[in-house]
Amino acid sequence: METAFKQTEIAFADALEILDKQSKIVEVYEIRDRFVRLLIKASVWKYCKNCAKGWLEARK
């Protein structure tokens, strides 16, 4: 009976370790996705700002 408890304890510890690793991997991908979205937003904003500036200068 004691060995069964020990094996269960080891299995739970292994499962928690795997879940921890997977959550860290997911976190890294979420951070990367947020960074990529910010880069896209920044480049779109820069493009729009340049377009607006060009449009205003053309109207003068």
Report how far residue 9's alpha carbon sits from residue 2's, in angstroms, rounded to the nearest whole number: 11
Number of domains in the chain: 1
| Residue 60 pLDDT level (bands cut at 50, 70, 90) | low
Tokens found for residue 29:
């991908």
Confidence at residue 39, expressed as pLDDT on a 0 to 100 scale: 78
* Domain assignment of residue 39, yes or no: yes
DSSP string, 1-60: -HHHHHHHHHHHHHHHHHHHHHHHHHHHHHHHHHHHHHHHHHHHHHHHHHHHHHHHHHH-
* Domain assignment of residue 6, yes or no: no
Other CB atoms closer than 10 Å to residue 51's CB: what's the count?
Answer: 10
Identify the residue whose tokens are 């053309």: 58
* Domain assignment of residue 12, yes or no: no
* Domain assignment of residue 5, yes or no: no
* Domain assignment of residue 40, yes or no: yes
Confidence at residue 35, expressed as pLDDT on a 0 to 100 scale: 82
Domain that holds residue 58: 25-60
Q: What tens digit of pLDDT does each residue of 12-54 get?
A: 888 878 877 777 777 878 888 888 887 777 777 777 667 767 7
